[in-house]
Amino acid sequence: MEDQFKKILSHAKEYGFVYPSSEIYEGLSAVYDYGPMGVELKNNIKNYWWKSMVQMHDNIVGIDAAIFMHPKTWKASGHVDAFNDPMIDNKDSNKRYRADVLVEEELAKTEGKIDKEVRKAQKRFGDDFDENQFRATNPRVLRYQEKIDAHQNQLNEAMKSNNMEGLKQLIIDLDITCPVSGSRNWTDVRQFNLMFSTQLGNIAGEESSLYLRPETAQGIFVNFLNVQKTTRQKIPFGIAQIGKAFRNEIVARQFIFRMREFEQMEMQYFIKPGTEMDWYEYWKETRLKWHKSLGTSSEHLRFHKHENLAHYANAAADIEYKFPFGFKELEGIHSRTDFDLGSHQKLSGKKLQYFDPEINESYVPYVLETSIGCDRMFLAMMSESLQEEKVPDSKGNETERTVMKLHPSLAPVKAAILPLVKNKEPLTNRARKIFDDLKLEFQCQYDEKDAIGRRYRRQDAIGTPYCITVDFETLEEDDKVTLRDRDSLGQRRITVEEAKAIVLKETNVSRIL
């Protein structure tokens, strides 16, 4: 798994997907830039999300709110008082950790021991093995599980009651050592606010203090009435937004999984109070289907129900993806009640209510949120698609290729136009003309450098679903080209028009909407 992660990191850099930010100055911790291939993939992810949310639902509309918001927004939302993570430092390594994550990682190690027992037993019993029964009855597994449950409860309690001493005690009880120094020389656990702050230029005093938004959702809440009135939407309806968010994360490792500047794709669905559990289930299923529609394996996706609920939620679940470093949150589905609209109404003194003509009553709507990190989705797509496989070369000998089997609608380049040889007129001229024609329809790349086999490999490595090869027969014959399929490696001799139609059809996002 670790190897796979290293491969993703070096692939991302080598092929222009992701670079460390300001790399010539040794980079900036947990900040990354997207390169030429990365920006295409990211735009395609955003495009698919936007279309499935906004275009496909006549009761969901989009907005693009500013990153800066009135500072009171963050008071009302609870972020000033409660958007904290518990932090602990190791005095020997001077490394900083999230105390809850240290505990969770320790518990995951015990879970790993259970999995090992299961695998051992599976080997021993073969086809007769009943995993559920084994997990429910094996004394060693039960002992491990009991330990995990007890410590998980302690963790949940400590987090819920803001008990920082309790959290430190748990770290001591579990005998957790610093992964860098190996020592148990810990500071106390302290709360750390994750919002970045800055100053407004022309105002002095407290009012001048601004925050970079830590989530895009609040831009939707404060615009709730504007949008509802201007679009005359009736409840239930949703507002969708894609935009940057900023969090001063304590531990920011794992590449683009946890960044200090990242992008969210959020949708707030305004509903009648009391209907939230139905909508919660509806959006959980809808969002899971969305992930599967891109070809992500069911085995790499799962729900994780929150026990320790955020201050605004009455139910919450994550869609977790099996990243190379284990199952982690990719998207959150949160039932946010009327917490946000209610608090903004109180602090601003402005009514944020909906008049429901069906019951002739006004109320503050409840909200169901789906929130997915664009960068995490990007990493999930890289993890899911990057493969090394053995394929026959042009002489039929076995060779290895690196290929990104991205869903065609997400691929940065949809088709590569390749003249068989370079600098050979009129062949290259004809290939250029085909490129100029096709680039009006979809993202193309023209490449004439190196042998054709190497050019195919380069396109495989960036996930291009189709290569269109132009050879001398194209000129002499009937304008036919060779269309090569990335996954099957099948080659078809067809006209340019037919090739265009296939690429358009297969890479069009509407096929999976």
HSE at residue 190, side-chain half, CA atoms within 13 A, is 10
Closest CB to ligand ATP among residues 151, 336: 336
> Quick one: tokens of 18?
């992701």
Handedness of CA 44, 46, 51, 53 (dihedral sign): positive
The distance of closest approach from Cβ of residue 317 to ligand ATP in the complex, given in angstroms and rounded to an integer, is 11
For residue 352, the minimal CB distance to ligand ATP (Å) is 22
Smallest distance, Å, CB 18 to ligand ATP? Answer: 13
Residue 226 beta carbon to ligand ATP: minimum distance, rounded to whole angstroms: 24
Minimum CB–partner distance for residue 217 and ligand ATP (Å): 9
Check: CB of residue 381 under 8 Å from CB of residue 404.
no
Q: Is 38 in the site for ligand ATP (CB under 6 A)?
A: no
Interface with ligand ATP, residue 259, by CB under 6 A: yes
262 binds ligand ATP (CB under 6 A): yes
The one-character DSSP state at 68 is: B
Number of residues that bind ligand ATP (CB under 6 A): 16
Can you tell me the distance from the alpha carbon of 329 to that of 8, in angstroms, rounded to the nearest whole number? 19
Residues 267, 265: Cα–Cα separation, whole Å: 7
Shortest reach from residue 411's CB to ligand ATP, in Å: 22
The closest alpha carbon to 333, from 366, 304, 301, 369, belongs to 369
Q: Does 79 bind ligand ATP (CB under 6 A)?
A: no
Q: Which residues contact 10 (CB under 8 A, 6 or more apart)?
A: none
In the complex, minimum distance from the CB of residue 195 to ligand ATP, in angstroms, rounded to a whole number: 12
Task: Give the β-pairing of 32-34 and 84-89.
Answer: unpaired
Positive or negative: CA dihedral 463, 466, 469, 475: negative
Q: Does 219 participate in binding ligand ATP (rule CB under 6 A)?
A: no
Decide if 238 contacts 53 (C-beta within 8 A).
yes
Reference 238, options 56, 363, 61; nearest CA is 61
Minimal distance in Å, beta carbon 372 to ligand ATP? 5
Rounded least distance, CB 108 to ligand ATP, Å: 14
Report the alpha-carbon distance of residue 33 to residue 137 in Å, rounded. Answer: 50
467 binds ligand ATP (CB under 6 A): no
d(CA 44, CA 486): 19
Q: Of 32-40, 236-244, 259-267, 489-497, which segment contacts ligand ATP by CB under 6 A?
A: 259-267
Among 258, 336, 455, 486, binds ligand ATP (CB under 6 A): 258
Name which of 374 and 431 has its Cβ closer to ligand ATP.
374
Nearest approach, Cβ of 103 to ligand ATP (angstroms)? Answer: 14
Among 86, 219, 365, 373, which residue interacts with ligand ATP (rule: CB under 6 A)?
373
The long-range contacts involving 259-262, CB below 8 angstroms and separated by at least 24 positions, are 259/30, 259/31, 259/32, 259/375, 260/29, 260/30, 260/31, 260/196, 261/31, 262/373, 262/374, 262/375
The gap from C-alpha 305 to its chain's centroid, in whole angstroms, comes to: 18
Residue 378 within binding range of ligand ATP, rule CB under 6 A: no
- Residue closer to ligand ATP by CB (options 250, 470) is 250
Distance CA 442, CA 80 (A): 45
Does residue 376 belong to the site contacting ligand ATP (CB under 6 A)? yes
Stretch binding ligand ATP (CB under 6 A), from 111-119, 168-176, 370-378, 462-470: 370-378
Which backbone phi and psi does 327 adopt, to 5 degrees? -70, 125
In this chain, which stretch among 121-129, 274-282, 290-298, 373-381 interacts with ligand ATP, using CB under 6 A? 373-381
For residue 123, give both structure tokens.
Answer: 């080997």
Name the residue nearer to ligand ATP (CB basis): 100 or 447. 100
Q: Applying CB under 6 A, does 375 fall inside the site for ligand ATP? A: yes
Q: Are 389 and 400 in contact (CB under 8 A)?
A: yes
Helix H, strand E, coil C: the string for 232-265 is CCCCCEEEEEEEEEECCCCCCCCHHHCCCEEEEE
Residue with the shortest CB distance to ligand ATP? 373
Q: How far is the CB of 332 from ligand ATP (least distance, A)?
A: 3
Point out which span in 139-147, 258-266, 289-297, 338-346 binds ligand ATP (CB under 6 A): 258-266
103 binds ligand ATP (CB under 6 A): no
Pattern 321-360, ligand ATP, x by CB under 6 A: --------xxxx----------------------------
SS3 for 139-165 is: HHHHHHHHHHHHHHHHHHHHHHCCCHH
Q: Supply the DSSP string of 9-36, one letter for each residue.
A: HHHHHHTTSEEETTGGGT--TT-EEE-H
- CB nearer ligand ATP, residue 64 or residue 175: 64
| The total number of residues written for the chain in this structure | 513
Chosen residue from 42, 79, 151, 247 binding ligand ATP by CB under 6 A: 247
Q: What is the nearest approach in angstroms of ligand ATP to the Cβ of residue 245?
A: 7
Nearer to ligand ATP, 372 or 444 (CB): 372
To the nearest whole angstrom, how small is the minimum distance from the Cβ of residue 98 to ligand ATP? Answer: 9
Q: Residue 264 interacts with ligand ATP (CB under 6 A)?
A: yes
Near ligand ATP by CB under 6 A: residue from 370, 371, 383, 482: 371
Q: How far does the chain reach from its first CA to its final CA, in angstroms?
A: 32
Point out which residues bind ligand ATP (CB under 6 A).
Answer: 215, 247, 249, 258-259, 262, 264, 329-332, 371-373, 375-376
